[in-house]
Structure formats: structure tokens, C-alpha cells
Amino acid sequence: MKQFIRAAGGAVLGLVALACGDGGFTPDPGVRTEDAEAVDLENLRILVSGQAAVFPEAVGREASATSLAGVALSVEEPLRVAVNDASATFATGAVSEDGTFRITDVPVRDIHQGLAVGLAHEGLVRSTTLIYDTAFTGTRPRTDIIDARAWALPVAFVDQLGAAVGEPRLRGLTGDQASTLAAAGFVLGRVVDLQGRPVSGARVALDRAELAERILYPSEDLASVNPAGTASHGLFLYVHSASSLESFQLSVEGADTYVPRNVDAGPGLGVVLTVYPGRYAP
């Protein structure tokens, strides 16, 4: 398993370490690091901090969580999680009373494609929110990651998305291996503009044409899905096959300002990401 991951990640990273000249540093693209500190490149351990919250469209819905205080979280690599690698988790912690989290000394030397914050708790679908993508840098983090967002996905909300997809379609996309979206595994993404506002009418494209039918767009009221494009909330959904790892790059059609993103999907896992133009999160 580790040999497979090295092969998948080596091409992305190129095993490059970027040095900092004269003691200064440039914040890593792709994350909010304006006030972060540089890290020791010989001992790649970083701080990961931010806020955990219920996914906006799930707030107020039946059985949605209102407080995440005490919920277990992990700093992990989605690629490794998707293949059940025992070394997928780099550090663990819990959400504070005010919804924040702060995890120090996270070892990142061995990441291949990205870093995410995973949430697991009763009433929530196992999810992992991407907070760092090597697509922006070609290498591992070299500054702390601050102001990160980790999104919680209540079971009731994911069940609603699954109902929008429909059991027949879910069974068809999973070879009859899963009848629910949570069991199949999925990617829930949002396309935003430079100001962080959701983009309506956007379409995402994958670098693997055979997976294109798995991309769907929830309607405005989340009651149905279609293949046309995002509604005003900017959401898109990728339905996993419920079997082995599916890795691909995801881009926005007709918009070359959006850097193609690395995505790794696996069964029973909800991957959450925000797709934005440029190299820095809005």
C-alpha cells in the first residue's frame, strides 16, 4: 500500500524542498498564511488551526448538529485515508467550546498530495475538509496553516443529498454496492469567486473522462440533482464507486484562473473542498 502511495504522490511533489532566503519566507499559496510563521525545513512540523462548523446548507435542518464542542478531529491526508493507510493521520485533537481548533507539531514531511482536517462523531458522516493542496506549490507546507475551515456534515443532510441523487442512480454508480451516499463515499465541493461568493452556472471537469458521469449539481433547494451546472449556492457533488480509491484532478470549465485541484475519494468518506480562482483562498 505504501509503495502505491509513494508512486501517486512522488509525481506531484517531485520531492522538492523550497528554501527560504535571508531568513524571510513567502506564505504558501492555497491557504491563509499571511500571519503564519515559517517552519524549519529540516524538521517539517507545522501548526494547524482554524474553525470547525456545520456545513452552511445543513444548518437548521432536522437533526443537524448545533455544537461541535468536543468533537474529535484529525489532521490527515485524504489519499491515505481513502486507501485505509494506517499512517493516514498525522495528528489528532478536539474542537474547543467556541468551535476553534489548534493542533501543534503536525509532521508534514511525508504528505503526498494534500492535507485535510477530518471530523468523526455520532450524528455526523465521516468527513475530511481539504486545507492544503500540493497543486498550488508542488511541495509540502513550509508555513503554518491558520484560519483553516473544517466542515461537519450531519447524517440527515447527507441523507437528503443522497435522496436527491436517488437510490437507483446510487446503485448504478456503485455497481449495486451502496444504496446511500454516505456508504458510497462522495466529494462535496463549492465553486466560489475571488471574494469567496458562490458561483452560479459553473461546471467542473475531471481529468478522467470515464468519471464524468459521477459529477452532479444539487438544485437550489437540494431536492434534486442535474448535470447542467451549479445553482446559486455553487455546490457540486461527486459520487464515489463505493470500492477502490479514485484519484483525479478537478478544474472549472472555461475558467483557467482556477488551479486544477487534487482529489482523492474513497468509500464511506465525504471529502469537502472549496474551489476558488488564483493561488490564495479568498
Interval 147-190: pLDDT, tens: 999 999 999 999 999 999 999 999 999 999 999 999 999 999 99
Residue 118's pLDDT band (boundaries 50, 70, 90)?
Answer: very high
Task: For residues 223-233, give the mean pLDDT.
Answer: 97
The pTM of this model reads: 0.86
Strands 204-206 and 124-125: unpaired
pLDDT for res 29: 54
Record the cell numbers describing residue 272, joined without a space.
469537502
pLDDT of residue 8: 44
With the C-alpha atoms ordered 249, 1, 270, 36, is the resulting torsion angle positive or negative?
Answer: negative
- Return the pLDDT at 61: 66
Nearest CA-CA partner of 133 in 12, 40, 266, 23: 12
Mean of pLDDT values over 226-239: 98
Q: Are 144 and 36 in contact (CB under 8 A)?
A: yes
DSSP readout, the chain? -HHHHHHHHHHHHTT--PPPGGG---PPTTS--TT--B--TTS-EEEEEEEEEE-GGGTTSTT--S--TT-EEEEE-HHHHHTT-TT-EEEEEE--TTSEEEEEEEE-TT-SSEEEEEEE-TTEE-EEEEEEETTTTSS---B-EEEEEEEEEEHHHHHHHHHHH-HHHHHHHTTTS-SSHHHH-EEEEEEB-TTS-B-TT--EEES-GGGGGGEEEE-TTSS-EESS---TT-EEEEE--SSS-EEEEEEETT-TTBPPEEEEE-TT-EEEEEE-SBSS--
Residue 96 pLDDT greater than 90, yes or no: yes
**Topology match between the domains 2-10+33-148 and 156-275:** yes
pLDDT at 248 over 90: yes
Fold of the CATH domain 156-275: Immunoglobulin-like (2.60.40)
| Cβ-based burial of 202 (10 A; exposed 0-12, middle 13-18, buried ≥19) | buried
**Cα separation, 120 vs 127, whole angstroms:** 7
Handedness of CA 226, 228, 231, 237 (dihedral sign): positive
Where exactly are the structural domains of the chain? 2-10+33-148, 156-275
What's the pLDDT at 37? Answer: 59
Does residue 11 register a pLDDT over 50? no
CATH of domain 2-10+33-148: 2.60.40
Selection from 236, 192, 235, 193 nearest residue 214 by Cα: 236
Mean pLDDT of 24-32: 51
pLDDT of residue 203 exceeding 50: yes
What is the model's pLDDT at position 43? Answer: 72
pLDDT tens profile 53-73: 999 999 876 555 568 999 999
Q: So what's the pLDDT on residue 7?
A: 41
